[in-house]
C-alpha cells in the first residue's frame, strides 16, 4: 500500500510503485480520477456529503460509470488501496475524493524515474 506524506508518496519498494501504476491502468479508474478533480461539475448535488470536503457519493460514481454498484466499488477500492483517493463514510454512504498530496507525490516519483 502507498502512504502519502505531505506532498510525496512514500514508495518503499518497486512493488508499491507497481501497485499504484496498476491502479491507473484502467480507463474507468482514470475517468473516476478526472471526475473527482471537479466533483461539483461532474456529479449532482448530494444530501449528506459536501462535494469539496467529502467528494462524490459512490452511487453517483457508479451511475456515471454506467456500471453496477459492486463493479464501481471494486474500482474505487483499487484506487483507495493505491492511496490515490480517500473514502469517507457518511450516513450509510461512502464519499470519495482525490488525495491531491498523493497524486502530486506520484507525479514527482514518476518524473524522477
Residue at 70 is within a domain: yes
Residue at 31 is within a domain: yes
pLDDT of residue 13: 61
pLDDT of residue 52: 79
Residue at 2 is within a domain: no
Which domain covers residue 63, as residue numbers?
A: 13-111
Tens of pLDDT, residue by residue over 41-73, are 999 888 777 777 789 999 999 999 999 999 999
Q: Who wins on pLDDT, 74 or 4? A: 74
Q: How many domains does the chain have?
A: 1
Tens of pLDDT, residue by residue over 79-110, are 999 999 999 998 889 999 999 999 998 998 88
Would you say residue 75 has pLDDT above 90?
A: yes
| Residue found by looking up cell 473527482 in the block | 36
Residue at 100 is within a domain: yes
Look up the CATH number of the domain holding residue 21.
1.10.10.10
Residue at 3 is within a domain: no
Residue at 67 is within a domain: yes
pLDDT of residue 50: 73
pLDDT of residue 8: 44
Residue at 7 is within a domain: no
Amino acid at each position: 500500500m502507498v502512504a502519502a506524506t505531505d506532498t510525496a508518496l512514500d514508495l518503499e519498494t518497486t512493488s508499491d510503485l507497481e501497485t499504484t501504476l496498476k491502479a491507473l491502468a484502467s480507463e474507468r479508474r482514470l475517468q473516476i480520477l478526472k471526475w473527482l478533480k471537479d466533483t461539483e461539475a461532474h456529479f449532482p448535488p448530494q444530501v449528506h456529503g459536501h462535494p469539496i470536503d467529502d467528494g462524490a457519493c459512490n452511487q453517483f460514481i457508479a451511475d456515471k460509470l454506467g456500471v453496477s454498484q459492486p463493479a464501481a466499488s471494486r474500482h474505487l477500492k483499487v484506487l483507495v488501496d493505491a492511496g490515490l483517493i480517500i473514502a469517507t463514510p457518511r450516513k450509510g454512504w461512502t464519499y470519495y475524493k482525490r488525495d491531491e498530496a498523493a497524486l502530486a507525490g506520484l507525479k514527482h516519483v514518476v518524473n524522477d524515474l
